[in-house]
Homo-oligomer: A and B are copies of this chain.
Amino acid sequence: MQKDDKKMANVAVLGHGIVGSGVVEVLLKNSGIIEKRCGQAINVKYILDIREFPELPYSGKFIKDFDKIINDPEIDVVAELIGGITPACDFVKASLCAKKSVVSSNKELIAKKGAELLKTAHENNVELFFDASVGGGIPIIQPLYQCLAGNEIEVIAGILNGTTNFILTKMIRESMGFDETLALAQKLGYAERDPSADVDGDDACRKICILANIVFGNHICPESVYTEGIRNVTPEDAAYAGEWGGVIKLIAYAAKSGDGSGVEMMVCPAFIKSSGHLAGIDDVFNGILVRGNAVGDVVFFGKGAGKFPTASAVIGDIISAVNSKGKSRLPVWSDNGVNTVKNRNEYKAAFYFRVTGSSADRFIPQGSQKLELPKKTAEETAFVTPVITEDEAETLVKNIEKSGSKLLNRIRVLEY
């Protein structure tokens, strides 16, 4: 990559963890094709890390002083691959203010501070790209604001967390319980030691917020989105979903509300019909459905995480940043301080209920579909209601509890 007689773009990589090392390795491995496509070589000039890696062939690139990057006029692009808010946020802001485009894989940072950072980028006539923050290597963010920019987007819905999709897939296919499957996911490196951010839905929540920000143009605070994880989902629920003709997936969605005055958003486990576009996306794969008023439904899927898929997205963004030098897009979204997320009481869905007792007919809403497993394992009743509001579902829960039956689970039915 040291072709001094040719044009060359210089990149600083912040963080040599899983993603950072993947980016450096792929940039080296694919340097020929990247130079051809980019019209210039992409050279990693610095790697910022508090650790040292003397055994690496590129050990001479490591630095510990961030200011060296800011003060080097040769650096065109900074790739922030540290994660978290501190110090990543300060590094990104300082880089943008020093007129360097930034590429980030940091979903927490983009979900929380995206509006502010996009504004800073635009003010400095540089770019902030973050395709790797959602869906790993799946191209989704650039397509949303480029290829699909002519659409009014009505819905964006996805399986955005590979860990929970792996767990649910195992539960469906092998009837494994949650704890057992989680332990397997941890053993295989698909789940972290503290799996809360994945299994409680917070990771998917950040990602759907980023996608909704792009699609609806306004900052949505992750805290304003009702988020339910998969800890309560059991193999029995998965079996009932099968009887009903579908599967259980952890779905994150954002939809324009019927009257157009806001956005309906939620992260929750959901019954999805087998014919649904997202139903067949299994294991650690992520999938994203975009419904536009011109294009109809388009779906993207692929590995949503991992060293090299994420590196692929980061490098795509680096190439875009190099190519867009001197041109800055309008900020993709801004923060006008208004919470556009509608109160969930008004949302409508059919609901699956599973309750103890076999004579629960007195509270089953009219028009519900009763579900039976081929092998009855316990005295319980399962049914899918017609479409009702969240409030009506809450009332049903209370009636079930009053009747002396116990609510075993309650899962929404979504049409994606």
Chain A interface (Cβ < 8 Å from any Cβ of B): 22, 26-27, 29-30, 33-34, 36-39, 131, 136-139, 142-143, 145-152, 217, 277, 280, 292-303, 306, 308-309, 311-320, 323-324, 326-327, 329-330
Contacts and interface: CB of A to CB of B under 8 A. Distances in A.
Contacts of A318: 150
A296 B302 contact: yes
Query: Would you call the interface of chain A mostly helix, strand, loop, or mixed?
Result: mixed
A327 B327 contact: yes
B37 A145 contact: yes
A277 B302 CA distance: 10
A301 B320 CA distance: 24
Task: Name, among A142, A149, A150, A327, the residue most crowded by chain B CB atoms within 10 Å (CB to CB).
Answer: A150
A131 B150 contact: no
A312 B300 contact: no
A147 B318 CA distance: 9
Contacts of A34: 149-150
Given A139-B147, A142-B143, A149-B34, A302 B298 contact: yes
Nearest to A143: B139
Given A151-B312, A323-B327, 8 more contacts: A30-B294, A137-B298, A139-B139, A147-B316, A295-B308, A296-B308, A299-B301, A326-B327
9 contacts: A34-B150, A37-B149, A131-B147, A139-B143, A149-B319, A295-B303, A298-B302, A298-B303, A300-B300
A149 B315 contact: yes
Contacts of A27: 150
B330 A39 contact: yes
B299 A302 contact: yes
A312 B327 contact: no
